[in-house]
Structures are given as C-alpha cells and as structure tokens.
Amino acid sequence: MKYLSIWAASVLIAGCVPTADFTALREDVRDVQAENRKLKQELQRASKQGESDLSRRVEVLEQELARLRSQTELQSFRSEDPVAKPAAKDVSKPSRPPDGPSSVTQTSAYNLAYNYYLNGNYDLAVGEFENFLRQFPATSLAAHARYWIGESYFNKKEYRAAIDSYERLIANHPKSDKVPAALLKEGVAYAEQGDVAKARSFFKRVIEEFPQSDESSHARQRLAELR
C-alpha cells in the first residue's frame, strides 16, 4: 500500500475536503499506514504457514483504504459541482434526486449511486450507476462509474459480470486513471475463478504497462502468490 502517502498528499493539495473531515480521514490513513508497516515487518519474518493469514490482513487493509478513498472521491466530485447539495451524513437511506432533467446534475446522480455502493447496497448501486451512464455518457466520471459497477459485482462474487465491466472500462476509457485498477481487479477476479493463467496475464499487464503505479506493487504481490 505504498500509495497511501501519495494519495493523502493529493487530497491535501486538492483542498476540496472540509478541514474536520480531512483531519479525520488523515488520522484514518495514518492508522492504516502504521498497521501496514507492522504487517510488512511481520511478513518478512513469517513462516510459510502464517503467510496466508497475514495476506488476508493485508487484504482487509486494502479494502479499508478503498473505503477511505471512496469517501474522499465522493467529497471531491461533490465540490466540483457548484449546484450540488452536500450529501447527507447518513448514507443508509440515500434518496433519488427529484425527477426532471433540470434537477439532476451529474454529481447528484453519481453521488446517489456512490452512496448505495458505500453502504453495501450493490444491486442498487449497479442500477444507479447504469442510470448515470445513460444520462451522462460523455462525462469524465463515466469511467469511474463503470469501475464501481465492476466493484459492486466483484463484492457480490459475480466475477464474470465484474470482468465484463472492467473490460468495458478499459476498452471505452483507455486513458482513465482507473485503468490500472481495473486491470488489477480483473486479474484478481480471474484468480478467484481459478483461472491462474488469465490472472497471471493481467497482473503482468499492470506491471508492464503501468510500472510506476500503485497497482503495480499489488500486482507483483499477487503474481508471487499464484501457484
């Protein structure tokens, strides 16, 4: 998780997160960083018998980081839309924006779907992200929407559908900053399906095509874990 410090710095530079919220997020990131350093030290000393348990703990940390990044991304997108209203703090009951083309902005539509995703309502998230893509197909957030559709399916363990979504993102948005993550998760999805050859090929693509990316280090780790 080498990208933690880089990500935290980018959030600070962007200046789009309120002070109190950023302080809390920064503290969360520091906690995750500390735990990550501890796990790396343990991994270096671990026997083969204990490596699988430590790997699962690293996986949990990765998921927590994804949650933190999602929250910051959500606030960032909201701040870019001058007419978007702040999202409710309670995301357990997100509400659809009022009907009518003049009342729905790309940020409010995206936020609605994103709130469903953050709350674990993956079926609703997929539906709303698909609605978003139909309404705003050319927006810069389209690639992000497609990625979170893939993540929703992945979290439901519907790996074939997740792979299809990642593939569409890569094909339709080849310059998106989500492409490395989509390639990595596509490899993970193939690994979950037991297709080691496919998984290995996608991990190698991340390493070869995006050698300086955060995902590259994760791809190397995943590649080493394959048997």
- Higher per-residue confidence, 207 vs 100: 207
* 3-state DSSP assignment of residue 70: helix
Task: Please state whether the predicted TM-score (pTM) of the whole model is above 0.85.
Answer: no
**pLDDT for the residue numbered 71:** 55
Q: Within 13 A of 205's CA, how many CA atoms are on the CB side? A: 17
Q: Find how far residue 89's CA is from the centre of its chain.
A: 20
Task: Parse the chain into domains and list their residue ranges.
Answer: 1-80
pLDDT higher at 114 or 2: 114
Report for 62-66, 136-140, 145-149: range of highest mean pLDDT: 145-149
Mean pLDDT (the chain) is: 75
C-beta separation of 227 from 196 below 8 A: yes
Do the Cβ atoms of 57 and 40 come closer than 8 Å?
no
- Reported as a pLDDT band with limits 50, 70 and 90, residue 29 is low
pLDDT at 11 over 60: no
Q: pLDDT-derived band of residue 131, with 50, 70 and 90 as boundaries?
A: very high
Q: Please report, in angstroms and rounded to a whole number, the separation of the first and last CA atoms in the chain.
A: 23
HEC-encoded secondary structure of 118-167: HCCCHHHHHHHHHHHHHHCCCCCCHHHHHHHHHHHHHHCCCHHHHHHHHH
Two structure tokens written together for 57: 């703990």
pLDDT band of residue 48 (cuts 50, 70, 90) is very low
From 61-75, 119-133, 171-185, the region with the lowest mean pLDDT: 61-75
For residue 40, the model assigns a pLDDT of 56
Over its C-alpha atoms, the chain yields an Rg (Å, rounded) of 18
pLDDT for the residue 179: 97
In angstroms, the CA 119 to CA 74 distance is: 13
- What is the per-residue pLDDT for 19? 40
Q: Is a pLDDT exceeding 90 seen at residue 142?
A: yes
Q: Is the pLDDT of residue 174 over 90?
A: yes
- Residue by residue, DSSP assigns 159-195 as HHHHHHHHHHHHHH-TT-TTHHHHHHHHHHHHHHTT-
User: Is the pLDDT score of 162 beyond 80?
Assistant: yes
- DSSP-based three-state secondary structure for 82: coil
Q: List, for residues 189-215, the tens digit of each pLDDT value.
A: 999 999 999 999 999 999 999 999 999
What is the per-residue pLDDT for 22? 45
Q: How confident is the model at residue 140, as a pLDDT?
A: 87
pLDDT the model gives residue 10? 41
